[in-house]
Amino acid sequence: IKGMTSLFNVNFSIVSQVNPHLIPFFYNPTGVAGRPIRWPWRKYRGGFLVHLIEVWLKEDMIKNLTILQKTGLLFNVLGVDWSYVFTQQDHGEITIVPKAIFSDYAHILDNVTCAEDLRRKMRHSERNCWRNFAQIGHRTRLQRALRALGEAAVQASEGATLGVSEAVLRRCAAVNADPW
């Protein structure tokens, strides 16, 4: 993701993580967009000890794979270094992760044959996206307001008759009137 963001000059990334080997590692113990923790006195889903064990196991596995990868001790299976599968960066500022059930893993290489399975997968995907729409909308509005602010500052510095603060305020008011 770092390479893509620098290549395309992107500062905000939305990742749809559908790799079946990474989905179980997205536990989100402190809540996600659209699904916050319901009890304010609890900071983690499942309690602190479950969160501690999950983080410890995940980070220890990634650490061990990274050490083996950098020292060249991992053997290649079919000529491929499989450690990159688990050590890659797998999240962005917004990460959308589908809910996978056991039957999804059992039929991972099969085409979807049942219309009900396809409807279920589409419904879950839509719901996961809907949870993040507010955050995406806020980020888009912020980006547009900053762009308008920059344009107004450039126009004001090019010798416009208005003062800089008046031009900036008028331009920002015009942008805020448009919800998207």
pTM (global) more than 0.85: no
Is there a domain that residue 70 lies in? yes
Q: Domain range holding 33?
A: 2-97
**Together in a domain, 9 and 84:** yes
The verdict on residue 158 lying in a domain is yes
* d(C-alpha 130, C-alpha 136), whole Å: 10
Average pLDDT, the chain: 75
Kindly state whether residues 141 and 57 are assigned to the same domain.
no
One-letter amino acid identity for 150? G
Neighbours of 115 (CB within 10 A): 8
Total domains present in the chain: 2
Residue range 158-174: average pLDDT?
61
C-alpha to C-alpha distances, 38 to 35, 42, 55, 92, 117, nearest whole angstrom: 8, 8, 21, 25, 30
Question: Is 22 contained in some domain?
Answer: yes
What is the per-residue pLDDT for 45?
64
Give the dihedral sign, CA 70/5/143/135. Answer: negative
- In this structure, are 90 and 155 located in the same domain? no
Q: pLDDT tier at 97 (50, 70, 90 boundaries)?
A: confident
Please tell me whether residues 84 and 6 are part of one structural domain.
yes
* Domain match, 145 and 72 both: no
- Of 77, 97, 117, the residue at which a domain comes to its end is 97
Is the residue at 128 inside a domain?
no
Is 80 exceeded by the pLDDT of residue 123? yes
**Which pLDDT score is estimated for 161?**
54
Nearest to 37 by CA among 26, 45, 47, 28: 45
Q: Return the bridge partners of 96, or none.
A: 16
Q: Residue 1 pLDDT more than 60?
A: yes
Looking at residue 7, its pLDDT comes to 76
Q: Are residues 170 and 92 in the same domain?
A: no
